Amino acid sequence: MPLVLLKHALGFARPQRQIPASRELKPSYDVVIVGGGGHGLAAAYYLAKDWGITNVAVLEKGWLGGGNTARNTAIVRSNYITPEGVRFYKESMELFETLSQELDFNVMYTKRGHLTLAHTDAAMRTMRWRAEVNKHLGVASEIVGADEVARIEPKLNMSRQVRWPILGALHHPVGATARHDAVAWGYARRAAERGVEIHQETEVTGFDVEGDRITAVQTTRGRVACGQVLQAVAGMSSKVAGMAGVKLPIRTIPLQACVSQPLKPFLDSIIVSGSLHCYIWQSQRGECVMGGAVDPYPLQAPRSTLDFKEGLMAHMLELFPYLADVPLMRQWAGMADMTPDFSPVMGKTSLENHYIDAGWGTWGFKATPVCGKRMAECVATQKVPDILQAFRFDRFKSFDQVGEAGAASVGT
């Protein structure tokens, strides 16, 4: 049980201070972090905690965690397909395990188990491949047959009389969820306590670049000089990097999700089907949290569409026919920054003091702790840590891709 819960129960919990209100920007900071989502805030926290670097400003154009951090469906797993990806997300799950204690803030990390369904022989082969890579690197993942799928989730429709009968699955028993906005708030509070300044409603509008360095950041509240700049702006990655003259191989595409009205508990695991382009889990409140693949066209507009809802439900009802009469309560979208290989981009750009944390597409929430910790190390030491090497920015020039299309996304 997280310590904070116990302390609340015994009446010893300290009052949770709000993040200090934005004051005037200082004329300069050692590090400016653009973007107050989970990633930017986690990097700020680890810069202060691990490296003692506190002359840091997080500049957020809206409110904390109001971007994709608040819009994602909170799934945390490490059952990827490349060794580089598996190692990286495994480290993130290890950090998630103790995050509530570390931040003294309950992020509601909940192990549910994760089933990626296979409906074809080809999908079974990919699941076996993933299971072998996972096990080799110490990640709990196993191929299970249809009988075992039915035992784990008895409410799934196992009929053979459907378009895509379930043949088996990749079972990842440690697959989990965490409360997404709590992750951002927890990092923000603890970073602010250590002296990091968090400025909401402060949009970065440009960079002053001299030679191969950014010397200052232009904002809607004035100009600040900077030692180093880390950008962690998810769906705005290409635009913000473009302000520094850096071109990214990223397309930005809406990703939608929705929740149903609350139901009595019926589903323990997270269920994903690549062939049916859909996933579902049941929240602590009883809502079915559901989503699918990215929209079929690049667009910078987080709006909900009827097309998505109709398509998603047609597929979802094949897995859970009895949900047909359950009303949807909310539907929303976020902007996914998609790389060609479905892996993120982390490390330095072509500028000397410009660091990038981008390309998180549909999969970056689970990486919040590891990315924050390792990007802080990268900025503090000015060296790219080994675990980030494979994800470096210049890999696209040498065609050194980290192909995660088979495991990063819910159908592409």
175 neighbors 114 (Cβ within 8 angstroms) = yes
Is residue 410 part of the contact set for ligand PYC (CB under 6 A)? yes
Residue that is written with structure tokens 């696209």 in the block = 396
Q: 131 and 142 in contact (C-beta within 8 Å)?
A: yes
With respect to ligand PYC, which residue has the nearer C-beta, 207 or 279? 279
410 touches, from ligand PYC, ligand FAD, none (C-beta below 5 to 8 Å by class): ligand PYC
362 binds ligand PYC (CB under 6 A): yes
Cα–Cα distance for residue pair 79/316, rounded to 1 Å:
22
Binding to ligand FAD (CB under 6 A) within 110-149 occurs at: none
Per rule CB under 6 A, is residue 62 in the interface with ligand FAD?
yes
Which residue of the chain is nearest ligand PYC when measured via CB?
A: 363
Q: Which is nearer to ligand PYC, 55 or 110 (CB)?
A: 110
Q: Residue 68 interacts with ligand FAD (CB under 6 A)? A: yes
Residue least distant from ligand FAD (Cβ): 37
Query: What percent of the residues of the chain are helix, what percent strand, and what percent coil, each to the nearest 5?
Result: 35, 25, 40
Residue with tokens 């300290």: 14
Pattern 73-92, ligand FAD, x by CB under 6 A: xxx-----------------
Q: Which of ligand PYC, ligand FAD, none has residue 74 at its interface (CB below 5 to 8 Å by kind)?
A: ligand FAD
Q: Does 234 bind ligand PYC (CB under 6 A)?
A: no
Amino acid in position 360:
W
CB of 141 to ligand PYC, least distance (A): 14
Report, in Å, the least distance between residue 14 CB and ligand FAD: 27
Point out which span in 37-45, 69-77, 177-185, 187-195 binds ligand PYC (CB under 6 A). Answer: 69-77
Q: Does 241 contact ligand FAD by CB under 6 A?
A: no
In the numeric block, the tokens 């990749």 are attached to: 170
d(CA 156, CA 133): 27
C-alpha dist (Å) from residue 178 to 109, 284, 288, 342, 412: 4, 11, 15, 22, 25
The yes or no reply on residue 236 touching ligand FAD (CB under 6 A) is yes
Q: How far is the CB of 76 from ligand FAD (least distance, A)?
A: 6
Name the residue type at position 319.
L
Q: Is 291 in the site for ligand PYC (CB under 6 A)?
A: yes
Q: ∠370-371-373 over CA atoms, to 5°?
A: 65
Least distance between ligand PYC and beta carbon 75 (Å): 4
* Six token digits for residue 111: 């192990």
DSSP codes joined into one string, 342-353: S--EEEE-SSTT
Closest CA relative to residue 199, chosen from 326, 22, 41, 400: 22
Partners of residue 33 on adjacent β-strands: 58, 230
Site map (CB under 6 A) of ligand PYC, residues 266-285, x = contact: -------------x------
Q: Kind and range of the H or E element at 280?
A: strand 278-282
Selected from 49, 61, 77, 90, the binder of ligand PYC by CB under 6 A is: 77
Other beta carbons within 10 angstroms of residue 137's beta carbon come to 15
- List residues near ligand PYC by CB under 6 A: 73, 75, 77, 279, 291, 362-363, 410
- List residues near ligand FAD by CB under 6 A: 34-40, 59-62, 66-69, 71-75, 203-204, 232-234, 236, 240, 255, 257, 291, 334, 336, 360, 362-366
